[in-house]
Amino acid sequence: MFDFIFGIINLPVIIPSPALSSIYSLSECKENYCQLVLIWAVSMASHGPWWRLPIRRRQGVNLRGREAVAVGFKRSVLCLDYLAIKSKSDSLSELLLSVCSVDLLSNKTGQNRLEHHTDLYHGNELIIRRGQTFLMELDLSRPFNSKIDKLHLDLRTGPRPAVSKNTHVLIPLVEELQDERWEAKIVEQNSNRIKLSVNSDPKAVIGRYKLTVTVSCPNGKAATTHDPSKDIIMLFNPWCEDDTVYMDDEEERKEYVLNDTGRLYYGTEKQIGARTWNYGQFHEGILDACLYVLDKTEMLPSARGDSVNVVRVLSAMINSPDDSGVLAGNWSGNYAGGVSPTAWSGSVDILKKYSQEGGMPVKYGQCWVFSGVTTTVLRCLGIPCRSVTNFQSAHDTDVSLTTDVYFDENMEPINHLNTDSVWNFHVWNDCWMARPDLPPGIGGWQAVDSTPQETSHGRFRCGPASLTAIRTGQVYLKYDTPFVFAEVNSDKIYWQKNRDGTFRQIHIEKKAVGHYISTKAVGSDERTDITHLYKHAEGSEEERIAVETASRYGSKPDMYSTSKVDVTVEVNLEGEGPRMGADAQLTIVVTNLSSQPRSATLHSQVAVMYYTGVLKGTVKKEKLSVELMPNEVMFDSLSLSDVGSHSTVTVTEQFIPTQAGPRKLVAALDCKQLTQVHGVADIVVKD
């Protein structure tokens, strides 16, 4: 009688038994580890020969390379059938766990892109917003066993990723997801395929991440190699309550993040013009171009999780004087070698040209172009943003928080001192975000200006400056709040030089700047006046308190301690003001507010100037002696005329639409003599 034990032995063979020699040669077995799968029956009573079978070298065990270890049975082998011999790679695949493929479910019409509001971006990359879960699927070499197998995701961004800098993220597999952290959970398993729900940190660094997947089991560890087609692009998330750019109104999110066209306002407060601008943040190549602009900055990747820092750095990178940014400014009127600022109708060509030409500044831009490009970049990265126009916009050059005009003893302008100016209009941006770096209540809309006017900490940039701080005169709160305050609410003060070289105030205009601050309305092409967000009603007690509070932090803190002026001058425009091709009627009103007679000299000057406030030339200049009795009001008038010509130009262009649905067709005329000539038509592009 024989007692039999049946089973399967998995033994790697280096030196085969004679029975194997017909299948594997000795040299083959030396070069290739093989696994012997056999069924045996062993007698418990009989004795048999020793079988010399080798043991496979294991990681961490110090065995000689081809050492054969004698392994035998003291009992006779009655039956030995070789069922199969498999190569090591085939056999270990049944034990080792590896990743065969990764599917990021990144199709633009799929669940990830729709839920993250990134379905409008061109292409099929995985574009997601931080602080929100996304799905991905993994095909494994065998079914995943949560009891013995382990898995984690590895994300890296920037040139030198580091866990301590949040640029190298290790995402563990957990049973339940928790908010405000990187984690992954298996939500579905079907044989070798698993679906993961991955949660991201709402403070995560934005940008392009390289993905690898690492799996391990008791028999070993394996990781995928980096595949650029599996990169993940992370954006800010206005839909996430824990993100600093969170905006709670869905209609505003649609307008300030998802709308790819807008309106820019220009002209004068009496003649407000509007032009349609194609922001094009979802256009092919624009997301890559915006990330390229971000990479061109000196900001470390670890700082890209802070919306305040990102906005501040980008306000410098959109202009070019000191960092080879996107746009070169030009106010000379000579645009040879580039494109006239009035000829641009959108941001797409500008950003594409900048990225395709290796970061060479694009020629040329003025304030509305800088603003339009800034809106594109910020919306593209997920920061709510709008373009804003301020009419009668002051440019304070000496941090006095006033707009100062200096005259000599003879009431002639002192040109080298008159560096402050008032622009007909100036366009900048508002962006929406919390300000954890400032006291509570300062978050919300923040002014940011990419037009290079004055340096801030050594760079041409401006903001973000809280509109709440601007409105209340809290100009000591960063960034660049004094400059923006002066743009919208500075008093215009006239100074005359005394014989001893000092200056005295001779006139003050308290309502000279910051009129009809405008932006496009939410959900329509109408203009919305947002002046009340920047300052209290002109002349109100709150507004005067804000002005005097702000001035204490300027270069002339004692500005409002001087004696009161009792003779005032006011200039009124008849009708809607000057128009191209029509006469202009102006009335000068001089009022003696005192109870005593006053002798005064009225100096009037009419000049042509650029919208920036820079004088082109004098048209008319008068000096008039005036004797005013107590409480007397005197009127003087000026008449100016100009005749323009009109013509019609017809141009035919061909183009290929790239996105279906309701669109806007925008056209602009590039003409030195006729500026700001443009038009827009609503069209429907069919699939």
Q: What is the pLDDT of residues 647-685, one digit of tens each?
A: 565 666 666 677 778 877 777 766 655 566 777 788 788
Q: What is the pLDDT of residue 586?
A: 79
Q: 196 versus 30: which is more confidently predicted? A: 196
The residues spanned by each domain of the chain are: 8-89, 99-235, 250-565, 566-644
The full 3-state SS of 452-487, as one line of letters, equals: CCCEECCEECCCCEEHHHHHHCCCCCCCCHHHHHHH
CB atoms within 10 A of CB 561: 8
Which residues does 190 contact at the CB level (< 8 Å), separation at least 6? none
The span from the CA of 192 to the CA of 188, in Å, is 11
CB 470 within 8 A of CB 485: yes
Q: What is the pLDDT of residue 41?
A: 34
Backbone angles phi, psi at 362, to 5 degrees: -85, 135
What pTM did the predictor assign?
0.75
**Tens of pLDDT, residues 388-401:** 999 999 999 999 99
The span from the CA of 71 to the CA of 52, in Å, is 5
Q: Is 489 annotated as a binding residue?
A: yes
- Architecture (CATH level 2) of domain 566-644: Sandwich (2.60)
**Tens of pLDDT, residues 355-391:** 999 999 999 999 999 999 999 999 999 999 999 999 9
On the question of pLDDT at 611 being above 70, the answer is no
Superfamily name with CATH number, domain 250-565: Transglutaminase-like (3.90.260.10)
Q: Which residues are annotated as catalytic?
A: 367, 426, 449
Q: The CATH number of 99-235 is which of 1.10.10.10, 3.40.50.10540, 2.60.40.10, 3.70.10.10? A: 2.60.40.10
CB 516 within 8 A of CB 535: no
The span from the CA of 281 to the CA of 250, in Å, is 19
On the question of pLDDT at 528 being above 90, the answer is yes
Region 616-632: mean pLDDT is: 77
**Tens of pLDDT, residues 314-334:** 999 999 999 999 999 999 999
| SS3 of residue 263 by DSSP | strand
Kindly state the DSSP code that residue 255 receives in the 8-state scheme. I
Provide the phi-psi class of 123: left if phi over 0, else alpha when psi is between -120 and 50, else beta: left
Q: What is the pLDDT of residue 46?
A: 38
Tell me, yes or no, if the two domains 99-235 and 566-644 fold the same way: yes
On the question of pLDDT at 557 being above 90, the answer is no
Side-chain-side CA neighbours of 556 within 13 Å: the count stands at: 20
Q: What is the pLDDT of residue 595?
A: 84
| SS3 of residue 154 by DSSP | strand
Backbone angles phi, psi at 555, to 5 degrees: -80, -10
Which residues does 332 contact at the CB level (< 8 Å), separation at least 6? none
Q: 665 versus 512: which is more confidently predicted? A: 512
Q: 88 versus 250: which is more confidently predicted? A: 250
CB atoms within 10 A of CB 687: 4
**Tens of pLDDT, residues 530-541:** 999 999 999 999
Q: How much of the chain is in helix, strand and coil states, percent to nearest 5?
A: 15, 35, 45
Among 37-46, 49-58, 134-143, 667-676, which range has the highest average pLDDT?
A: 134-143
Q: What is the pLDDT of residue 412?
A: 93
Helix (H) or strand (E) holding 128: strand 126-129
Q: What is the pLDDT of residue 633?
A: 74
The CA-atom distances, in angstroms, between 643 and each of 409, 478, 583 are 37, 48, 8
For 42-107, give the DSSP string: E-SS------B------TT----TTPPPB---SS-EEEEEEEEEEEHHHHHTTTS--EEEEE----
